[in-house]
Each structure stands twice: as structure tokens, then as C-alpha cells.
Amino acid sequence: MENEEMENEEALKLIAEVGKASWEALMNAKRLVKPGAKLVDVANAAEDYMEQKGFGLAFPLNLSINDIAAHYAPSFEDDKIFSENDVVKVDFGAEKGGILGDCAVTVDLSGKFGPLVDAAEAALADAISVVKAGVQVREVGKAIENAIISRGFNPIRNLGGHQVAKHELHSDVFIPNFDNGDDTVLEEGLVFAIEPFATTGKRGAVTESDVWEIYGYNGSTAVRSQDARAILKAVENTYEHEPFAARWLSEVINERFRLYAAIKELARAGVLSPYPALIDTDSGVVAQAEKEIQVEKDGCRILTS
């Protein structure tokens, strides 16, 4: 066998392995989401589970509740608990060798938003059914839009799926949740996360909040305080590639005020970029469904299942 063929075979094997681990870890996290459970306990347990299975984290566990659509991770010493009225988006992914997984489900603890959850899941299934090499991304978006609107809800139009590349969770190609007119075609072999968001909100849009608990590293620069320098060193040593949670750095500074002051100093200096929690502009309740797929000539392979 040629070296290139062996490398391709190994790459495909790793992509499948990461996808399978992502889904198993997501299902484990889903089981932990119960009324009365602390968000930070669920996040710590789910992230520990992933690492015990021999994988890194593509990003911190996201636990986004009700009108928060995405990017909420528990803070250090977070005292929030799940209530019986919550609709929880659980978003997670494994990492190994720079290969990233990404998948999500919605847990309706209230029992009142089944049709909304079903709309997101139906949109995901319909989108996956149209994916194959040569299909335009607008066609995937149209399938998502039709599935959600036909069930009486709105797609969130300023969120969507994305190409996934090595150490790049959000790579070049965007997958819209509506027909946005983009004629970019899906190429065979590329990996994408298909990610419908359905909302009860009228405008179908999210806005950035002032909650910053997830960060990415941009590159080093000089910073003034000793605490900021200590955090920077830890980030450079451990979190150079993938997004990380602020609370993970409590191993460096175990005092809340100092920890967040140092992180904000690094963000102001441009060393770190925050991923703000994203909130529905109409305070609508949001459901999400997400799977990672690899485009094939006549369809796609579902990686996270």
C-alpha cells in the first residue's frame, strides 16, 4: 500500500474514532442533566469522562439554557442549578491529534417544548438527507428552514453549521440555517457540523451577551500583572489550539476575583478572544440539534452517532 493511501486510511480512522467518542461523551453528559444538578458539577463530570476515555476536549461542555442559544459554560464556583422549567442545549466534542468532534442535543426538562425540540431534530435529519458532493450550502439551509418553519417555529439565521478542519472547529465554509443564496458547493471528503437552531422568537436571531466563560488563544504579548503572566503561561502550555473554559484556569489562580481579572487583562491585550454566550433577541426559547458529517459522492457519513 502506498504511503499516501495509508495516511488517508489512518486519517479516516481517526476522524471516525473522534466522532464516536464525541457522541458517547455527549450522551453521557445528557444523562447528567437533571433538575437540581449543578451546572458546574455536570460540566466537570462530563469533561472528566472525555479525558478518562483518552481524548482531549474540542471545546468546553456548553450548557445553554432557555433563551441562551450557545456558548454558555459554567463559571468557576458557579452555583447555578438546572430547574424543572429548563430547556438545555448540551453541546460537546472530542479532540485527538487535532481532529475535532462537534455534536449537540436539547434536553427539555420542562416537558413543554417537545415540538420545538422535534423541529430542530427534524431540520437536522432533513439537512443531512440532502448533503452530498456538489450540493450548494443554500440547499442545506433551505431544508433546515422549511423543516423548522413548517412546524411553527423560526430558524436562527445568524447561527449555523460550519466546516471542521484540523485544530479549526469553525473553518472556511458556513452552513446557513436558511436559504441565504450562497452557492458554495460541498466538496467530497470535507467534514462539517450541521447545526440547526429552532426558536420561539419572532426574529430568529441571537445577540452577544456580557457573559464570557469560553476563550480562545490568539498569540502572546507583554502583559503587566503577575497573575496575567501566570495565566498566559498556562494557556500557552495547555490551551494553544482549542477553546477553553475560564474555570479550567482555577488550577493556576484559585481565587475568583484574581482569576477573572487576569483573564480580562489578557482579553483587553488581545491575547485571548472571548466567545460570548449568545441570547435570543426576543427572549425566545431555543432548541438545537447537531451532528458532524463527512461529505461523500452520493451522500454523507454521519460521524457523531
CA distance 30 to 23: 10
**Does residue 156 sit within a domain?**
yes
Q: Is 102 a catalytic residue?
A: yes
Residue 191 has pLDDT above 70, yes or no: yes
**Does residue 243 sit within a domain?**
no
Q: What is the chain's mean pLDDT, rounded?
A: 96
DSSP state of 136: B
pLDDT at 7: 52
CA distance 139 to 19: 25
Q: pLDDT band for position 2 (50/70/90)? A: very low
End-to-end CA distance of the chain: 30
pLDDT tens string 69-111: 999 999 999 999 999 999 999 999 999 999 999 999 999 999 9
Q: Is 168 a catalytic residue?
A: no
Q: Furthest-apart CA pair in the chain: how many Å? A: 57
The amino acid occupying position 288 is Q
CA distance 212 to 207: 13
**Does residue 215 sit within a domain?**
no
The amino acid occupying position 139 is E
**Does residue 274 sit within a domain?**
no
Closest CA to 58 of 9, 23, 82: 23
Q: pLDDT band for position 11 (50/70/90)? A: confident
> Of 47, 67, 95, 102, which residue is the catalytic one?
102
C-alpha distances (whole Å) from 148 to each of 6, 102, 123, 156 are: 42, 21, 6, 10
C-alpha distances (whole Å) from 120 to each of 6, 127, 152 are: 38, 11, 11
Q: Is 162 a catalytic residue?
A: yes
> Of 91, 126, 227, 280, which residue is the catalytic one?
91
CA distance 260 to 258: 6
Contact in structure between 182 and 137 (CB atoms under 8 Å):
yes
pLDDT tens string 148-160: 999 999 999 999 9
Q: Number of folded domains in the chain?
A: 1
pLDDT at 9: 79
**Does residue 222 sit within a domain?**
no
Mean pLDDT of 256-281: 97
Q: Is 241 a catalytic residue?
A: no
Residue 49 has pLDDT above 90, yes or no: yes
Dihedral angle computed from the Cα positions of residues 91, 85, 68 and 304, in that order, rounded to the nearest 10 degrees: 20
CA distance 24 to 261: 36
The pTM assigned to this predicted structure is 0.94
CA distance 214 to 57: 13
pLDDT tens string 114-151: 999 999 999 999 999 999 999 999 999 999 999 999 99
In sequence order, what are the residues at sequence separation of 6 or more whose Cβ sits closer than 8 angstroms to the Cβ of residue 131? 140, 186, 192, 194, 293, 295, 299, 300
**Does residue 233 sit within a domain?**
no
CA distance 224 to 227: 9
CA distance 58 to 81: 24
**Does residue 155 sit within a domain?**
yes
> Of 118, 121, 195, 265, which residue is the catalytic one?
195
Lowest mean pLDDT among 2-16, 54-68, 260-274: 2-16
pLDDT at 3: 42
> Of 67, 71, 162, 227, which residue is the catalytic one?
162
Residue 30 has pLDDT above 60, yes or no: yes
CA distance 69 to 84: 18
Looking up residue 11, the CATH number of its domain turns out to be: 3.90.230.10
- Is the torsion defined by CA of 220, 223, 229, 235 positive or negative? negative
pLDDT at 10: 86
Contact in structure between 96 and 14 (CB atoms under 8 Å):
yes
Q: What is the span of the domain harbouring residue 108?
A: 3-207+279-302
Q: Is 290 a catalytic residue?
A: yes
Lowest mean pLDDT among 3-7, 94-98, 152-156, 283-287: 3-7
**Does residue 47 sit within a domain?**
yes
CA distance 175 to 136: 10
> Of 139, 167, 170, 296, which residue is the catalytic one?
170
